[in-house]
Structure 1
Amino acid sequence: MKAYWPYWAKISNFQENNPTNWHLLPFHLMDVAAQGLLLLERDKTLANRLSKLLKLSLEKLKNLIIFFFCLHDIGKFADTFQSKNPELYQKLLNRTHPKAGNNNHAEIGYYIWKKYLAANLFEILSQNHPDLEAYDLEDLLIPLARAVMGHHGAPPSLESDCLEDSLTAEDKKAITDWFNTLCELATLDWLEDLLHNYDEESLIIASWLVAGMVVFCDWLGSNPNHFPYHNQPIEPGEYFESIAKKSARQALEREGLIPPPVAPVQNLAKLFPGFTSPTPLQAKAEQWEPTESPQLVIIEDATGAGKTEAALLMVNRLMAHGAGQGFFFALPTMATSNAMYSRMAHVYGRLFQETTEAKASLVLAHGSGRLQTKFLRQKNRSNKNPLEQDAFCAAWLADNRKKALLAQVGIGTIDQALMGVLALRHQCLRLLGLSRNLLLVDEVHAYDSYMHGLLCNLLKYQAAFGGSAILLSASLPQKTRQELVDAFNRGLKNPPIQLKEDHYPLLTWSARGKVREIKTPAWKRNQRKVRVDFVSDKEQVLERILSAAEQGHCVCWIRNTVADAFDAWKTLKDKIPPENLHLFHARFPLGDRLAREEKIQNLFGKNSTQEQRAGQVLVSTQVIEQSLDVDFDVLISDLGPIDLIIQRAGRLQRHPRPYRTLEPILIIHAPEFTEEPGEDWYKKPFPKAAFVYPDHARLWLTARGLKQKGFIQVPEGVRELMEGVYGPEVEEQIPCGLQASFYEAEGKSLSHQSVAYFNRLNLEEGYAAQGDKWLDDQNAPTRLGEKSTNLYLAKWDGGRLTPWYKETDPLHAWAMSQVNVAAYKVEGPAEYEEPITDAIEKTKESLPDKGKFSVLLPLFKDPVTGCWQGEARGSGGKKVALICSRDFGVEI
């Protein structure tokens, strides 16, 4: 009997700490290898990309995967792991005295590879290659070995040689026996080809995908519902062929992980029933024929030009050409993700061909994706006949944000994609999902210099894996567009290509080391001149709002801070009926915010009626400018950067309404313009917003450009306005009083780019330890800026604390009762006395994070106002009062 049989890998069914069932280690190793084999057979995109990177035929690639995946838990042969369960340690190995040493089986496995298994392979290979040096073979295979051994979310490292102390002589004999059996189970034909076609850069890039694969396969292969436990020896070849492969096939089928065939090329009307007349941009997308190589497309066009539909037409064509089997649509916020999910649910299925065994999954992937009502309804539907459903979601994909990017269609915040290029646990799983799919990124202009730096790195990875990307934006500075194209080409090892075209709208298409800049005609419906009217006096702004509302128009005032929005709302509250006045900002508890989004969409959305809209007034922060498809008869905006002003202008009379005769005028509330502003030109009238948009020089340039023009000409004048604020010549045009603000902001931007460069993972180093520590998701540095505190709002009923939001599922209720506030406003909990302190401690146990990363805030009802009030600890230990209401959210 082989020495490897009395070793366990998985245990279950404990009775008084004594396991009654266990899974032998050789079987688990083969389970995961079989899962990898079946994944390659069913996932043609992944198989083709790995074959190209490793320069192996598909059959030899399969043997490589079987060999390495059968070693992923080789460290579990160590005495220090086996002794984790004393009962089985004695029962199977007849041992009672565990060795002292490291019990991290991933690190031990990596050590075993470097110390023993690489030498065994060298001995085999050197028979036909007498000139081969041992270190050459080690260098060749170490990226793959490191990827496989790091299957618990982070690359392994060898801190010292003390790992030898974790192994007994019997353990080493078991490892040798298993290696010899493995060489029979998976032939080593791949090794000759890998050596002959050695390409270090490609092999290192492949290591990222192999790392993601082994995590994926280990998660599935560790599920006893798919791989029942076996605790008696079975001949390895028989087990692998008759049991493991069959279980792996069923696991993919049961979990809805078999990718369906993609749909053939379709026109706009077929993909979007009801769209009979394409916009010029959509017509370009219909005519577009992609190449066979990785490609980047940047779409720049005005709001309402049909960018999303054009992007999906391109997705359809790319997928039909074999460039991907699905896509991930990344957006700047949870609100924009929720809105896109609702749009996509009725469309995405037409990009695939349904079969009896495979249906495309649609997953919402962001911090609160599992809490979005429509997603929950879709996720919890009966699975009896999923092919009849509009939106199908495989439960295995939906239960973890790390796995969500593996779905055929993922919708989520850009953070979920950026985590793939940061040193976070299981980031390789995100890269695996992205690499098989197309990457779509919306609102590219909305990302700051830090996120832009991470996005550039992500594009580099996507290109290196053989993937493609489509970026959407209302408008981009020329410099930003150039950096995005350069980053993608770096991933392909192509030299930089200088962009020249300044036309708008524009399609930028980079493929095969070349760039085409395609002029796109403007859509006639989007061709308009929006007059700009500056108002510096707040009272005049209020008068114009009231006048417009009295005349039956619907009005929106976009403010730059929550505090300013509160201020305007309170002033208008005494002058406008409560049913006609609405407040929208990011400081609503999540459940209330989702309900408010739906209400605002109904009131001001595309299908809202004249009767619904008449006299309605909305005071909002920036959340309205991207998240919802709404429009207003009259729009006021606080002064902001030019790109955001253009974006906000897109919410002014966006949808045609035959009854509307009002001229589109964008009213900008701004400081009085002067050619010689002082340093407090913006800060004095807008003291809070001055911290939100600290580059007051660019705000002045925005005001100057709009003042000089007097209007926004869409689309012809957009590029000129953008370059007038962000172009290379603007520095010399900045007044003396605002130069300090300009250079401070520039310095901060450069600093953020440096931080992005420091934080990002280096593609060329492969799946290897890059830094001191790999973090968990909750510490993901996807965004810089002010820190926030997560509050869970709890009502005090006199005896206990209950979630602000009522739900039958307690975890869901608490999650829907959370809200983020700036950390400088709330640093921690206030001090309470009994019985409140006791209730807080008890309630923390029911919170999703057990209160480790959040503050539980007790709220007490005011009998006079009906509002709920609470206290917290603010900056410097000061007491901070908070008031909460479903009407206005959380006021601090």
Structure 2
Amino acid sequence: MSEIYSHSARGGEQPRLLMDHLEGVHRLMSSEVERAKNYMDFHNLLGVDHKTLSFLVKAIAYLHDLGKATPEFQKKILNKPFHRDKTPHAALGAFTIGVYLSEEMPKELQYLIPLMVTLVKRHHGKAENPEFGCSFENEYELLEWQIRYIDRSFLKDLSSKIIVPDLNISDLEDFTNDWQDNYEDFFFEIDDIRPYVLYMYLSSLLRWADETDAAFRSRPLPKREDLPSDIVEKYREINGFNAPGSDFMNKLRNKFYFEATKNLDFSIGSLKGRTGIGKTLTLFSLALKLRKKLKNKNYTPRIIYCLPFLSIIDQTYDVARQLFLETGAPEPSSSQILQQHHLVDIDFKTDNEDESYEKYLADLLINSWNSELTITTFVSFFHSIFTNKRNPRFFRIPGSIVLLDEIQAIPPQYWDLTGKMMKLLSDYGGTKFVYSTATMPSCFGLSGSALYNGEIPLERFQLDRVGEMTFEDFKDELLPETIEEILSQKKSLMIVMNTINSAEATFKELLNYPDINKERLYFLSTRVPPKERRKRIEEIKNAKDFCILVTTQLVEAGVDLDFDYCIRDMGPLDSIVQVAGRVNRSNKKAKGKIKLIELTDFNGGRPPSMIYDPVLLSASKRAMSKNTYNEPELYELIENYFDEIDNESMGFKTKSRELFENIYKLEFSKIANFKLINDSGKTYPIFIELDNEAKKAWQEYTEIIQKPTSSEDKFKFLAEKKDIVRKLAPYIINYRPKHDDRTDLPPILNGFCYVQKDELERYYDKKTGFHPAGCDFY
């Protein structure tokens, strides 16, 4: 066999042989395709049958890195002097797979050739429209040189695995014209989502297999581990949840739990339950029971638990972990339960104490959801479906059980898009979806089975619409009245404002109240570093009686807080209901009070509620025709509200339609406009050196980024950098200055605006967090 290499030597190992790499990629990709026979309808999901998919997988696996079998790339691998402009390898693989498919694929399927060409050409970059992905104008000279000097002995070895077509640079223009014609003839005439799904499936499968083989080489992947299907039942029994006695709330939770987990015959299930009813445990139990039912000797579905906010992922992970620890099971391994988001530590542990994974291996396992239960974000999940970026996750979604908790957090303009994609994956991909919320939109285009139909007879609060008022009227009249009332009755109060500035101004006003214990006065916003936010939330949870929290909307969903009273500035109705779920949450207090105000201005400027879509605000105001609502009445309004904003005249379906058109034509650069979180305007990451741990993390970060690295250390370096950045994350806030004016921001150092410890007084307030220099908050 010819000694042609794909990857550099590493850690005392020899360089990876290219043939071994291609065989490894094919083995990994084809094993997943074989496993998919247990749950996937290939034709209706991907537009091709299993035989054709296997044929495409073989072609992609064996041809994608063909450009590495050229002299300059081999010099690069062996750390010899090389010409950089002759080392790009993807174009030759793309041209080769195009010629191969043109000669070997049936005519009726040759419309897929442009997809496969651009997939291989862009397998180290962002996806692009096949019409442009099939163009090799900029690579002509490179291809001419690589075709002339490619290692012939390697091609001979490769021909024992797959037919290697003869390549002639003079044929390039004719082939590319044919492929572009194929694209225009098919994709301009037919609206078919399946080619897009096929591309995403194969692209993610290739990235995962390519990186996995390059990283693990001859080392085996972690073996799959068991998740006990009855672990929630044991946990409930140990904690006495299944014997609620006379406690009304516990009896209600029990009824909800048993009814919601008894029906397992569904593809899409909807779980509607109010805040505090026990949805998290119910979802875990439901998923585990469904997994046991679907399991056979060739297939065990993974569980993907998706949440909209990082603040509740840690909380949910802790619940899952306690299921093990409180039932006498060992500490769960990463192969059993895993968090995946950009702040989690890069660490992967199995049940074998002697087995450890270096950072770059752990990073790969985490980012490819290599666990039985992965807890992740909506952004990670949906941006694995609608994106132009390479990702190693999409192929995990078919055949999995997907829990979408707090689904109302998906913006209305994407309801139609996400709903139809979920239905396609459910109907033909073998994906089981359960979507859950206290405020369920019925307009996702999903006909899910209702998993709980019982009444939830709770009246934990009353909401009073106070109406419009200026900020001056609020702080001079309503605020002092409310403070006097809660102080006299020793009640807790949460004030939720729509902007950081109005929240800070309210907090400043409360600091002037002599009767308020300032130790029990809390402030939360995204200008407070995550570490300090978590600390404050825990303190509030443990507060026995009186406390006041002034916050922005970051407490709306999932954060387990419980207050007696609440003041909320006007917002969309679903946001109002989510905040209401933080009032008398446990139903163990007197009926809570919520005052809904509508600030008409702030410091002479526009109303703070204008941060929301005016269509949502108008629909909310129309829905709320009365001035007083109890809990059941407020929840009844939600269905009408969602139906109204889903109405065609509201315009929210337009965005979904535009994205569908781009999906049909594979316009990846436009598909990338899908964003669950609006990130308009430039933001600056600001690192705040709050304590000695922050100082130590910063020192480690500067040492790592200044460390020289070689090509063989590249993946280790990137993983180490990602890991240390995650250690910085508890001290990082993102700040968006007005008009992109960074005059008063800290100096930029190593990619961050850096507030060192002796500069804290200039840029940081212990109560309200970061502020620009010269901003005299007090």
TM-score using structure 2 length? 0.75
Provide the residue aligned with 2:667 in structure 1: 770
Contact 2:270 2:436 in 1 (8 A): yes
Contact 2:465 2:627 in 1 (8 A): no
CA deviation after TM superposition for structure 1 residue 148, in Å: 5.7
Provide the residue aligned with 2:181 in structure 1: none
Contact 1:532 1:668 in 2 (8 A): yes
Does 2:521 correspond to 1:588?
A: no
Provide the residue aligned with 2:336 in structure 1: 361
Where 1:423 maps in the other structure, the secondary structure is coil
**Which residue, out of 632, 635, 646, partners 1:718?**
635
Residue identity in the other structure for 1:344: A
Provide the residue aligned with 1:231 in structure 2: none
Provide the residue aligned with 2:445 in structure 1: 484
Unaligned runs of 5+ in 1: 90-95, 123-131, 186-199, 228-246, 371-375, 486-507, 510-515, 604-611, 672-680, 732-745, 833-839, 845-850, 862-866, 870-882
Supply the distance in 2 between the matched residues of 1:326 and 1:273 (Cα, whole angstroms).
26
Structure 1 residues 141-174: Cα deviation after superposition (integer angstroms, max 9, x where no partner): 7656765665435458232262540334462744
Provide the residue aligned with 1:817 in structure 2: 731
Supply the distance in 2 between the matched residues of 1:727 and 1:51 (Cα, whole angstroms).
34
Provide the residue aligned with 1:828 in structure 2: 742
**1:726–1:574 distance in 2 versus 1, CA, 3 Å:** same
Does 2:97 correspond to 1:113?
A: yes
| Aligned counterparts, 1:424-573, within 5 A | 424-427=388-391, 429-452=392-415, 455-456=418-419, 458-460=421-423, 462-463=425-426, 464-477=428-441, 481-485=442-446, 509=448, 516=449, 520-524=453-457, 526-528=458-460, 530-532=462-464, 534=466, 536=469, 537-538=473-474, 539-573=477-511
Provide the residue aligned with 2:40 in structure 1: 49
Q: Which range is displaced more, 812-821 or 452-461?
A: 452-461
**1:160–1:639 distance in 2 versus 1, CA, 3 Å:** closer
Where 1:319 maps in the other structure, the secondary structure is helix
Provide the residue aligned with 1:240 in structure 2: none
**Which residue, out of 309, 315, 326, partners 1:333?**
309
Residue identity in the other structure for 1:557: I
CA deviation after TM superposition for structure 1 residue 354, in Å: 9.9
Provide the residue aligned with 1:347 in structure 2: 323
Structure 1 residues 832-857: Cα deviation after superposition (integer angstroms, max 9, x where no partner): 9xxxxxxx57x42xxxxxx1xx5445
Supply the distance in 2 between the matched residues of 1:57 and 1:544 (Cα, whole angstroms).
66
Structure 1 residues 430-482: Cα deviation after superposition (integer angstroms, max 9, x where no partner): 212323422222222233234545533652563353312111122245xxx23
Structure 1 residues 464-512: Cα deviation after superposition (integer angstroms, max 9, x where no partner): 53312111122245xxx23331xxxxxxxxxxxxxxxxxxxxxx62xxx
Supply the distance in 2 between the matched residues of 1:85 and 1:710 (Cα, whole angstroms).
72
Provide the residue aligned with 1:789 in structure 2: 683
**1:758–1:103 distance in 2 versus 1, CA, 3 Å:** farther
Structure 1 residues 707-763: Cα deviation after superposition (integer angstroms, max 9, x where no partner): 62622242x65224552x4554999xxxxxxxxxxxxxx99x73x754555567966
Contact 1:868 1:885 in 2 (8 A): yes
Supply the distance in 1 between the matched residues of 2:584 and 2:357 (Cα, whole angstroms).
36
Supply the distance in 2 between the matched residues of 1:172 and 1:398 (Cα, whole angstroms).
35
Contact 1:406 1:432 in 2 (8 A): no
Q: Which range is displaced more, 455-464 or 574-583?
A: 455-464
**Which residue, out of 194, 215, 222, partners 2:214?**
222
**1:670–1:412 distance in 2 versus 1, CA, 3 Å:** same
**Which residue, out of 226, 239, 262, partners 1:287?**
262
**1:317–1:175 distance in 2 versus 1, CA, 3 Å:** same
Structure 1 residues 184-226: Cα deviation after superposition (integer angstroms, max 9, x where no partner): 99xxxxxxxxxxxxxx986774443232222112112112xx4
Contact 2:73 2:87 in 1 (8 A): yes
Contact 2:688 2:754 in 1 (8 A): yes
Does 2:560 correspond to 1:629?
A: yes
Contact 1:103 1:166 in 2 (8 A): no
Q: Which range is displaced more, 400-409 or 157-166?
A: 400-409
| Aligned counterparts, 1:1-150, within 5 A | 5-12=2-9, 21-36=14-29, 44=35, 48-49=39-40, 65=57, 68-79=60-71, 81-82=73-74, 84=76, 103-115=87-99, 117-118=100-101, 121=104, 135-136=107-108, 138-139=110-111, 147=119, 150=122
Provide the residue aligned with 2:174 in structure 1: none
**Which residue, out of 548, 555, 563, partners 1:617?**
548
Residue identity in the other structure for 1:563: N
Supply the distance in 2 between the matched residues of 1:362 and 1:700 (Cα, whole angstroms).
42
Residue identity in the other structure for 1:415: V
| Aligned counterparts, 1:605-754, within 5 A | 612-613=544-545, 615-657=546-588, 660=589, 662-670=590-598, 687-695=606-614, 699=617, 702=620, 706=624, 708=626, 710-714=628-632, 718-720=635-637, 722-723=639-640, 725=641, 727-728=643-644, 750=651, 754=654
Supply the distance in 1 between the matched residues of 2:79 and 2:311 (Cα, whole angstroms).
52
Contact 2:7 2:15 in 1 (8 A): yes
Contact 1:443 1:473 in 2 (8 A): yes
Q: Which runs of 4+ in 1 moved over 6 A?
A: 50-64, 86-89, 200-204, 348-351, 353-356, 380-383, 392-397, 682-686, 804-808
Provide the residue aligned with 1:126 in structure 2: none
Supply the distance in 1 between the matched residues of 2:624 and 2:287 (Cα, whole angstroms).
37
Contact 1:555 1:634 in 2 (8 A): yes
CA deviation after TM superposition for structure 1 residue 319, in Å: 1.6
Task: Give me the CA root mean square deviation.
Answer: 4.7
**1:644–1:203 distance in 2 versus 1, CA, 3 Å:** closer
Supply the distance in 1 between the matched residues of 2:562 and 2:86 (Cα, whole angstroms).
62
Supply the distance in 1 between the matched residues of 2:450 and 2:767 (Cα, whole angstroms).
48
Provide the residue aligned with 1:167 in structure 2: 146
CA deviation after TM superposition for structure 1 residue 111, in Å: 0.2
**1:885–1:454 distance in 2 versus 1, CA, 3 Å:** farther
**1:828–1:533 distance in 2 versus 1, CA, 3 Å:** closer
**1:578–1:299 distance in 2 versus 1, CA, 3 Å:** same
Supply the distance in 2 between the matched residues of 1:337 and 1:761 (Cα, whole angstroms).
34
Higher relative contact order at CA 8 Å, sep ≥6: structure 1 or structure 2? 2
**1:67–1:617 distance in 2 versus 1, CA, 3 Å:** same
Supply the distance in 1 between the matched residues of 2:293 and 2:745 (Cα, whole angstroms).
62
Q: Which range is displaced more, 822-831 or 642-651?
A: 822-831
Unaligned runs of 5+ in 2: 165-191, 243-250, 702-723, 773-778
Where 2:150 maps in the other structure, the secondary structure is helix
**1:688–1:534 distance in 2 versus 1, CA, 3 Å:** closer
| Aligned counterparts, 1:404-419, within 5 A | 404-419=368-383
Structure 1 residues 70-114: Cα deviation after superposition (integer angstroms, max 9, x where no partner): 33312222455445468769xxxxxx9x7x976431221010122
Provide the residue aligned with 1:503 in structure 2: none
**1:355–1:643 distance in 2 versus 1, CA, 3 Å:** closer
CA deviation after TM superposition for structure 1 residue 63, in Å: 8.1
**1:215–1:440 distance in 2 versus 1, CA, 3 Å:** same
**1:828–1:555 distance in 2 versus 1, CA, 3 Å:** same
